[in-house]
């Protein structure tokens, strides 16, 4: 074996290693064709891929002497129609050399295309006429994967003599090398396609879970779809910022892991009962129990009316000293008190930011009022559970229900940590688990501090909060305007709740506006005076140790 042959085999092995390491599909296809050209000293070539519609699709077209580069990383699409493998009647297309090689599964080595009568080279002649080129020697090799399926065709044009660069036929050695390369390339493409298909399947399952969580509650629908968008907006802004986070960067795999984490950050909500997720008022369970309270107040009005009518009847008989006018006034006063108390309870039933102690005590006072129940026995107007719910200070959830809601992140962590991730996705649980942590360590479930969390996890915390504040599909509130949401988040920064540097990037890079233009209603997009946002630092601060 000559040294030249040994060198070509060494190059072939090195090419196989390089192909296995390439992850970008366009660069991979281009590398296959370029490698085949280099091994055979061919002037040009075309790489076709088999398409589901039974055609060969042009992927890469190269001709060195013409400076022609179409497809692949060139950014220039290949303008040629795909080659049909069968005609309209279903007959195999043996006229085109690339189609014949694919259908027959054999290599075709043609010394001179103009003399090859068994194949149609009219398109080649037209190309030559237009460009002044002379297509001569052709080597057309089918690409077979490990299951012996034809995945494409590798075609080389015009082999050149090393010394003179004259166009010569492709040698038997050239053919064997390219056949070996095409086999390696086909297996590499097949493996990559399998990996891509698995990734697509995985992503589909991820989005299926997120969609199921959103669909579980019409009031939170879209949260799991919007948070990934906002997460990546902020992460990309942080990666391009020249402030304190200037050293933060993500490669393609880290970006992908963060995207998956964002889609799965609330996967534990699949365990959360609907009556808690859907609780739009304080008395809501399967239904809003305020309707039951309305019925009791109506019963009290009826009791008052009955007392009035009995009093008026007694007055007519001169059995009491009360006049009918006094009785009527007392009845009307009682009805007014009932209306006021009921209206007050209706207001209390709607969750707010901070219920006063006086209002809580008034609920208890109203609740201790007696009425005759359905069995005719005297009962408290409100049960202990109803009083407990109506006196919730913030929002609509009791502490126990809030614990149920909060458990979703624990459930999410358990679910995510149970999955057997490939190496590049191992950070998904950590990224997803931190969106309820605080920078001062007072968050949940693990009480992590800023220093114990990755930048990606801190990004998700801001994305989750801003989405929740501005979402217009919550049962307990309307979507906030931009200025209001940023005011709240500014105070959260000062309170060491969210990452200060990321919040500054969020405002400085106008990430909030980029998100709003896609996901918020026009009436939410009010004017924002960034200089009035609490704690916001408009200019990058020096990076601290």
Confidence at residue 12, expressed as pLDDT on a 0 to 100 scale: 59
Residue 356: predicted pLDDT? 92
Least confident window among 57-66, 166-175, 399-408, 535-544: 535-544
Identify whether residues 371 and 417 lie together within a single domain: no
Give per-residue pLDDT as tens, 412-463: 889 999 999 999 999 999 999 889 999 999 998 899 999 999 999 999 999 9
pLDDT at 53 over 80: yes
- Across 103-239, the runs of DSSP E, i.e. the strands, are 108-110, 138-144, 150-160, 167-168
pLDDT grade for 238, boundaries at 50, 70 and 90: very high
Confidence (pLDDT) at 31: 85
**Is 70 within 8 Å of 77 (Cβ atoms)?**
yes
* Least confident piece of the model among 33-37, 130-134, 382-386, 532-536: 33-37
Q: At residue 17, does pLDDT exceed 50?
A: yes
Identify whether 145 is part of a domain: yes
CATH number, domain containing residue 162: 3.30.450.40
The answer to whether the bond into 545 is cis (omega within 30° of 0) is no
Contact 470, 523 (CB under 8 A): no
Task: Assess if residue 538 is contained within a domain.
Answer: no
pLDDT of 319 above 60: no
- pLDDT, position 544: 46
Give the pLDDT confidence score for residue 336 in this predicted structure.
94
Average pLDDT in the 383-406 region?
88
| Gyration radius (Cα) of the chain, Å | 37
- Structure tokens belonging to residue 408: 């979703």
Cα–Cα separations (whole angstroms), residue 95 to 31, 121, 276, 278: 29, 9, 68, 66
Looking at the structure, tell me whether residues 161 and 69 fall in a common domain. Answer: yes
Q: Which of 4-8, 266-270, 505-509 has the lowest mean pLDDT?
A: 4-8
One domain, residues 391 and 406: no
Is pLDDT at 506 greater than 90 in this prediction? yes
268 and 297 housed in the same domain: no
Q: Are residues 88 and 231 in the same domain?
A: no
User: For the chain, what is the domain count?
Assistant: 3
**Are 69 and 86 contacting, i.e. CB atoms less than 8 angstroms apart?**
no
What's the average model confidence in pLDDT over 496-520? 95
Q: What angle do CA 542, 543, 545 make, to 5 degrees?
A: 135
242 in a structural domain: yes
Domain boundary among 340, 367, 396: 396
In a domain, 207, yes or no: no
Q: Do 263 and 296 fall within a single domain? A: no
pLDDT surpasses 70 at 79? yes
Q: Is residue 522 included in any domain, yes or no?
A: yes
Instruction: DSSP letter for 375, please.
Output: T
Tell me: do 433 and 526 sit in the same domain: yes
pLDDT for the residue numbered 280 = 78
Q: What CATH number is given to the structural domain containing 258?
A: 1.10.3210.10
pLDDT at 539 over 90: no
Q: How would DSSP label each residue in 141-155? A: EEEE-TTS-EEEEEE
**Looking at residues 343-364, what average pLDDT do you find?**
91
- Helix, strand, or coil (residue 426): coil
What band does 258 get if pLDDT is binned at 50, 70 and 90?
very high
Supply 85's token pair: 């493998």
In a domain, 473, yes or no: yes
Helix, strand, coil proportions of the chain in percent (round to 5)?
A: 55, 10, 35
Dist. CA 545–CA 328, nearest whole Å: 78
Q: Are residues 351 and 414 in the same domain?
A: no
Whether the pLDDT of residue 69 is over 60: the answer is yes
Based on the fold, state whether residues 96 and 140 are members of the same structural domain.
Answer: yes
DSSP for residue 222: T
pLDDT surpassing 90 at residue 408 = no
What b/e string do you get for 491-503 counting C-beta neighbours within 10 Å, with b at 16 or more?
A: ebbeebbbbbbbb
Q: Which of 364, 396, 428 is the last residue of a domain?
A: 396
pLDDT score at 97? 96
Distances (CA, A) of 236 to 140, 265, 531: 44, 19, 24
Say if pTM beats, i.e. exceeds, 0.75.
no
CA 404/CA 269 separation, integer angstroms: 10
Give the pLDDT score at 483. 95
User: CA-CA distance, 154 to 159, in Å (whole number)?
Assistant: 14
The structure tokens listed for 392 are 């919730």
Mean pLDDT of 31-56: 91
pLDDT of residue 541: 53
Do residues 422 and 496 share a domain? yes
Q: Does pLDDT of 545 surpass 50?
A: no
Mean pLDDT of 400-417: 85
Alpha carbon 138 to its chain centroid, in Å, reads 47
| Domain with 110 in it | 3-195
pLDDT (average), residues 273-283: 78
Looking at the structure, tell me whether residues 185 and 46 fall in a common domain. Answer: yes
Confidence of residue 15 (pLDDT cuts 50, 70, 90): low
Q: Quick one: pLDDT at residue 134?
A: 95
Predicted local distance difference test score (pLDDT) of residue 444: 86
Using CA atoms, how far apart are residues 407 and 419, in angstroms rounded to an integer? 19
What is the CB-side half-sphere exposure of residue 453 using CA atoms within 13 A? 27
- Local structure of residue 153 (DSSP, 8 states): E
Mean pLDDT in residue range 234-257: 93
Query: Out of 28-32, 111-115, 183-187, 317-321, which region has the weakest mean confidence (pLDDT)?
Result: 317-321
* Nearest-10 Cα torsion for 65, 68, 69, 70: -150
If asked whether residues 412 and 500 sit together in one domain, one would say yes
279 inside domain = no
**Contact 445/406 with Cβ under 8 angstroms?**
yes
Q: Any bridge partners for residue 49, and if so which?
A: 57, 152
Instruction: Give yes or no for residue 473 having a pLDDT over 80.
Output: no
Q: Which of 376, 396, 416 is a domain's end point?
A: 396
**Residue 212 forms part of a structural domain:** no
Report the Cα–Cα distance between both ends of the chain, in Å, rounded: 62
Distance CA(202)–CA(207), nearest Å, equals 9
Q: How far is 434 from 413, CA to CA, in rounded Å?
A: 10
């Amino acid at each position: 074996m000559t040294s030249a042959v040994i060198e070509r085999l060494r190059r072939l092995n090195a090419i196989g290693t390089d192909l296995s390491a390439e992850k970008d599909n366009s660069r991979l296809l281009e590398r296959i064709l370029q490698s085949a050209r280099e091994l055979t000293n061919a002037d040009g070539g075309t790489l076709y891929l088999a398409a589901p519609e039974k055609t060969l699709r042009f992927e890469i077209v190269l001709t060195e002497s013409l400076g022609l580069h179409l497809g692949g990383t060139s950014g220039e699409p290949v303008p040629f129609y795909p080659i049909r493998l069968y005609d309209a009647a279903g007959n195999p297309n043996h006229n085109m050399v690339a189609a014949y090689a694919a259908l027959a599964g054999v290599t075709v080595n043609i010394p001179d295309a103009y003399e090859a009568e068994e194949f149609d080279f009219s398109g080649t002649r037209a190309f030559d006429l237009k460009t002044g080129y002379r297509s001569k020697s052709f080597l057309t090799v089918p690409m077979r994967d490990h299951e012996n399926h034809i995945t494409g065709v590798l075609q080389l044009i015009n082999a050149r003599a090393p010394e003179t660069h004259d166009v010569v036929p492709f040698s038997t050695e050239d053919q064997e090398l390219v056949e070996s390369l095409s086999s390696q390339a086909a297996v590499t493409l097949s493996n990559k396609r399998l990996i891509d298909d698995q990734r697509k399947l995985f992503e589909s399952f991820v989005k299926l879970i997120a969609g199921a969580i959103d669909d579980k509650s019409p009031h939170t629908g879209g949260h799991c779809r919007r948070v990934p968008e906002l997460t990546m907006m902020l992460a990309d802004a942080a990666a391009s910022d020249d402030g304190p986070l200037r050293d933060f960067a993500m490669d393609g795999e880290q970006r992908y892991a963060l995207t998956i984490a964002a889609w799965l950050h609330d996967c534990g909500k699949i365990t959360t009962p609907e009556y808690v997720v859907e609780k739009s008022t304080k008395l809501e369970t399967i239904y809003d129990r305020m309707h039951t309270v309305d019925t009791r107040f109506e019963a009290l009005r009826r009791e008052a009316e009955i007392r009035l009518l009995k009093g008026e009847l007694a007055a007519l008989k001169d059995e009491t000293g009360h006049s009918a006018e006094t009785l009527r006034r007392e009845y009307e006063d009682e009805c007014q008190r009932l209306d006021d108390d009921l209206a007050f309870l209706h207001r209390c039933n709607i969750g707010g930011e901070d219920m006063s102690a006086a209002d809580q005590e008034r609920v208890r006072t109203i609740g201790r009022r007696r009425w005759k129940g359905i069995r005719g026995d005297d009962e408290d107007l409100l049960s202990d559970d109803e009083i407990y719910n109506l006196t919730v200070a913030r929002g609509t959830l009791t502490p126990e229900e809030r614990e149920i809601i909060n458990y979703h992140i624990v459930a999410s962590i358990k679910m995510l940590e149970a999955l057997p991730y490939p190496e590049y996705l191992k950070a998904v649980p950590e990224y997803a688990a931190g969106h309820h942590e605080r920078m001062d360590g007072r968050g949940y479930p693990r009480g992590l501090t800023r220093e114990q969390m990755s930048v990606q996890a801190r990004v998700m915390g801001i994305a989750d909060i801003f989405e929740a504040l501005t979402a217009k599909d919550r049962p307990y509130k309307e979507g906030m305007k931009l200025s209001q949401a940023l005011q709240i988040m500014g105070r959260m920064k000062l309170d060491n709740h969210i990452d200060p540097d990321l919040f500054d990037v969020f405002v400085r890079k106008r990430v909030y506006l980029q998100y709003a233009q896609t996901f918020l209603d026009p009436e939410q997009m009010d004017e924002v005076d960034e200089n009035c946002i609490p704690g916001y630092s408009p200019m990058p601060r020096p990076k601290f140790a």
